[in-house]
Amino acid sequence: METAFINTPLGVAKLQGDENGINSISILDGDEKLSDILPEVLEDAVYQLREYFEGRRTQFSLLLNPQGTDFQKRVWQALEQIPYGKTTSYMELSKTLGDPKAIRAVASANGKNPLWIVIPCHRVIGSDGSLTGYAGGIHRKKWLLEHESPVKQQSLF
């Protein structure tokens, strides 16, 4: 398993993967030493993440290998279908998966998403439009949604 630490506008991201694909991208709150040399198996992921943060990428094209239960993987696959710049609710996601009563299980699987940004769990919000639950912190979820918003809010000051 190869590992790299890169800087992003939201903090240091830790990427892990091997020849079978990327299995983990997470944001860290601590100060990690950035990688001087990128492992070859992670180069494309780093490149695509940089494009995303520069506003030049709206979809990822990476070999992914997240580890989880079959149910979690179904939820993560459904998350990948949420378009850039759009959001859905936990209720709508549950309905998409065929079980409107599975909201809590869907929310739990969403929270265990091992591929930050690439599998866009930040695009799932509460039914009332609230920014509920995000493993990376609500401030990061807000930033990501604003970054992807087709309407950019202008500052008055």
Active-site residues: which are they? 121
* Residues 65-73: contacts with CB under 8 Å, at least 24 apart: 65/17, 65/18, 65/20, 65/21, 65/22, 65/23, 66/23, 66/24, 66/113, 66/114, 66/115, 66/119, 67/23, 67/114, 68/109, 68/112, 68/114, 69/109, 71/105, 71/109, 72/109, 72/112
Burial class for 24, CB neighbours closer than 10 Å (0-12, 13-18, 19+): middle
Distance CA 94, CA 107 (A): 9
Q: To the nearest 10°, report the CA torsion of 67, 137, 78, 106.
A: 80
